[in-house]
């Protein structure tokens, strides 16, 4: 298999991954897809290498349809997706079941001395033994370094804070909290800190709050809470991504609170990323939010055009893409608010051009991706939804979240439940807590009531649509 074919296949696959990463939870992407590589393709088959047989089996059984759909969208026609493990090709539905290794999250390799991933805390999902962390199951992404981070007016303070923390961990800006909508570089900065502090010989752990929750629950189930505490409280640098996922998880918040305190009193560095400001994390315990605001809280804004163009140029140079300046500017205007989508669009253009064997010009790119500008949809916060509902119906936010069950309050409250469920990733229990401490069954009832009525009640349907349109305007 020639090198050029492998490079083309991997660029196409990177384009597919760029889109898939936006549509599935980050832990799922990191576990099952981050370490996959496109290795070959023909007119009807596309082969992807996976780190182990367990990953190949999981992708075959759980993600095959979605991946083939994204692959079809990228290259413009149907192909059959194959998974390769070392030198073996696994064709979905045709080969024997692969052998499942004892640790689905780990590749064989030397023990990691300076990096721990949340995946590594429990070596075997059916074992009661807490295993040593291994390199390979999670390591910092080599692309996510300070050198590869494009600095502009929108992210200067966040970059400076991250740089300072990486050079003087535990002594300045502790904790460091970085918040922004998705796809603007929070994870990049967290992992850049990980790279630099690891070079200092420190024990570094990167984990999402969803992984933290899963590991905490598993520790309780397996009666391994002491081991859990020891693993988390002996690190020098703790990097926690997507802290908003702790919303509505009281027991996990308790575990996080004590972990935070233990590390903080020993001057261990804590860095947290969130998709919203700490003030908007309504259902996090006040003792947690007060501690998070005790260091440096900084945000990352959507990049300006000049920064977007610089990012595209940097990505093109990094991947050795030859992109004309007018195409770079055109792509920079297509995606305005999400760097991850910006990079995915660049990968898609290059993959399509290579697959179709045509040069990258402004005309060919317009044919590929369309001529109209695209404004990425930013996440809508729960506070914006409640505020917009209260303004629309002429009631206060306190009335929506309060105990009154009059029609004046009940309809807006149920509409808020519906929109919070539809427009955010909040769990039912989290929505209930935001709306005055209601249980999840109340939220389900309110959601289903609105969902059924909007099909037959024209007035309610127009109300919900008007509020949703207003929210879209607010989010931009």
pLDDT in tens, 418-465: 998 888 767 777 888 888 888 878 888 888 888 888 877 888 888 888
Under 8 Å between Cβ of 197 and 204 = yes
Q: For residues 48 and 38, is the Cβ–Cβ distance under 8 A?
A: yes
Instruction: Write out the DSSP string of 411-435.
Output: HHHHHHHHHHHHHS---HHHHHHHT
Q: Is the pLDDT of residue 276 over 50?
A: yes
3-state secondary structure (DSSP) of residue 470: helix
- The average pLDDT across 343-371 equals 78
Do 137 and 226 fall into the same domain?
Answer: yes
Domain that residue 471 falls in: 382-475
Q: Is the peptide bond before 175 cis (omega within 30 degrees of 0)?
A: yes
At 379 the pLDDT is: 64
Mean pLDDT of the chain: 78
Task: Tally the domains of the chain.
Answer: 3
Distance between CA atoms of residues 364 and 360, nearest Å: 6
Domain end position, chosen among 299, 316, 341: 299
Residue 444 lies in a domain: yes
Of 116-120, 208-212, 290-294, 423-427, the one with minimum mean pLDDT is 116-120
CATH number at residue 129: 3.40.50.300
Question: Tell me, what's the pLDDT at 96?
Answer: 38
CATH number of the domain residue 58 falls in: 3.30.300.180
Does residue 353 lie within any of the structural domains?
no
Domain co-membership, 45 together with 185: no
pLDDT at res. 123: 33
Whether 254 and 156 share a structural domain: yes
pLDDT one-digit tens code per residue, 31-62: 788 889 888 888 788 999 988 777 788 788 88
Is 96 inside any structural domain?
yes
Q: Is the pLDDT of residue 107 over 80?
A: no
Tokens of 148: 């590869």
Residue 284 pLDDT class (50, 70, 90 cuts):
low
pLDDT tens for residues 194-241? 999 999 989 999 988 888 888 888 888 888 888 888 888 889 999 999
The SS3 call for residue 55 is helix
Residue 300 pLDDT greater than 70, yes or no: yes
Last residue of a domain, one of 299, 332, 360: 299
- 96 and 123 inside one domain: no
The dihedrals phi and psi of 37, each to the nearest 5 degrees, come to -140, 135
Confidence of residue 166 (pLDDT cuts 50, 70, 90): very high
CATH number for the domain that contains residue 445 = 1.10.1750.10
Angstrom distance (rounded) from CA 205 to CA 218:
18
Whether residue 80 sits in one domain with residue 209: no
If you average pLDDT over residues 467-471, what whole number do you get?
Answer: 83
Of the given ranges (33-47, 65-79, 116-130, 400-414), which has the lowest mean pLDDT?
A: 116-130
Give the model's confidence band at 159: pLDDT under 50 very low, under 70 low, under 90 confident, else very high. very high
CB count, 10 Å around CB of 320?
Answer: 8
Considering the domain boundaries, does residue 282 fall inside one? yes
Residues 148, 246: one domain? yes
Give domain status of residue 137, yes or no: yes
Asked whether residue 322 is assigned to any structural domain, the reply reads no
- In this prediction, residues 387-407 reach a mean pLDDT of 88
**Do residue 28 and residue 123 come from a single domain?**
no
- Is residue 259's pLDDT more than 80? yes
174 lies in the same domain as 241: yes
Task: Assess whether 18 and 89 both reside in one domain.
Answer: yes
**Whether 34 and 121 share a structural domain:** no
Entry field: residues in the chain? 476
Q: Return d(Cα 404, Cα 430) in angstroms, integer.
A: 20
Is 360 within the bounds of a domain? no
Residue 333 lies in a domain: no
Q: Which of 299, 323, 342 is the last residue of a domain?
A: 299
**269 and 168 share one domain:** yes
Nearest to 233 by CA among 260, 198, 194, 193: 260
168 in the same domain as 260? yes
The structure tokens listed for 184 are 């603007």
Q: What is the pLDDT of residue 169?
A: 93
Confidence of residue 136 (pLDDT cuts 50, 70, 90): very low
Q: What is the pLDDT of residue 100?
A: 33
Instruction: Let me know: does 159 contact 199? Beta carbons within 8 Å.
Output: no
43 bridge partner residues: none
pLDDT given for residue 363 in this prediction: 85
């Amino acid at each position: 298999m020639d090198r050029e074919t492998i490079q083309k296949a991997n660029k196409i696959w990177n384009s597919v991954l760029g889109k898939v990463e936006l549509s599935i939870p980050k832990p799922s992407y990191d576990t099952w897809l981050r370490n996959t590589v496109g290795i070959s393709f023909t007119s009807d088959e596309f082969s992807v290498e996976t780190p182990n047989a367990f990953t190949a089996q999981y992708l075959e059984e759980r993600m095959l349809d979605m991946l083939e759909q994204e692959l079809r969208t990228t290259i413009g026609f149907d192909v059959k997706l194959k998974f390769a493990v070392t030198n073996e090709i696994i064709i979905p539905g045709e080969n024997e079941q692969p052998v499942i290794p004892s640790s689905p999250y780990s590749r064989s390799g030397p023990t990691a001395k300076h990096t721990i991933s949340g995946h590594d805390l429990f070596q075997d999902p059916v074992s009661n033994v807490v295993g040593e962390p291994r390199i390979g199951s999670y390591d910092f992404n080599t692309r996510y370094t300070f050198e590869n981070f494009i600095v502009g007016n929108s992210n200067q303070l966040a970059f400076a804070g991250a740089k300072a923390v990486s050079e003087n961990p535990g002594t300045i800006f502790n904790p460091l909290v970085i918040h922004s909508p998705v796809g603007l570089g929070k994870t990049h900065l967290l992992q850049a800190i990980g790279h630099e502090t690891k070079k200092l010989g420190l024990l570094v752990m990167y984990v999402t709050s969803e992984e933290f929750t899963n590991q905490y629950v598993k520790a309780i189930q397996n009666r391994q809470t002491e081991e859990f505490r020891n693993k988390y409280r002996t690190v020098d640098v703790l990097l926690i991504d997507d802290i908003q996922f702790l919303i509505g998880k009281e027991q996990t918040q308790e575990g996080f609170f004590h972990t935070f305190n233990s590390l903080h009193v020993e001057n261990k560095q804590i860095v947290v990323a969130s998709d919203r400001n700490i003030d908007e994390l309504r259902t996090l315990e006040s003792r947690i939010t007060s501690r998070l605001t005790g260091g440096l809280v900084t945000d990352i804004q959507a990049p300006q055009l000049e920064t977007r163009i610089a990012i595209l140029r940097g990505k093109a140079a990094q991947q050795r893409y030859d992109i004309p300046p007018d195409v770079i500017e055109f792509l920079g205007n297509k995606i305005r608010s999400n760097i991850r989508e910006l990079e995915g669009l660049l990968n898609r253009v290059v993959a399509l051009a290579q697959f179709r064997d045509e040069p990258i010009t402004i005309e060919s790119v317009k044919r590929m991706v369309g001529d109209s500008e695209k404004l990425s949809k930013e996440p809508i916060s729960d506070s914006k939804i409640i505020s917009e509902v209260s303004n629309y119906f002429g009631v206060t936010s306190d009335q929506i979240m309060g105990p009154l069950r009059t029609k004046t309050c009940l309809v807006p409250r149920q509409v808020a439940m519906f929109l919070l469920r539809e427009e955010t990733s909040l769990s039912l229990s989290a929505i209930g807590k935001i709306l005055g401490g209601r249980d999840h069954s109340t939220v389900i009832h309110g959601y289903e009531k609105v969902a059924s009525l909007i099909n037959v009640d024209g007035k309610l349907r127009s109300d919900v649509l008007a509020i949703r349109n207003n929210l879209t305007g607010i989010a931009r």
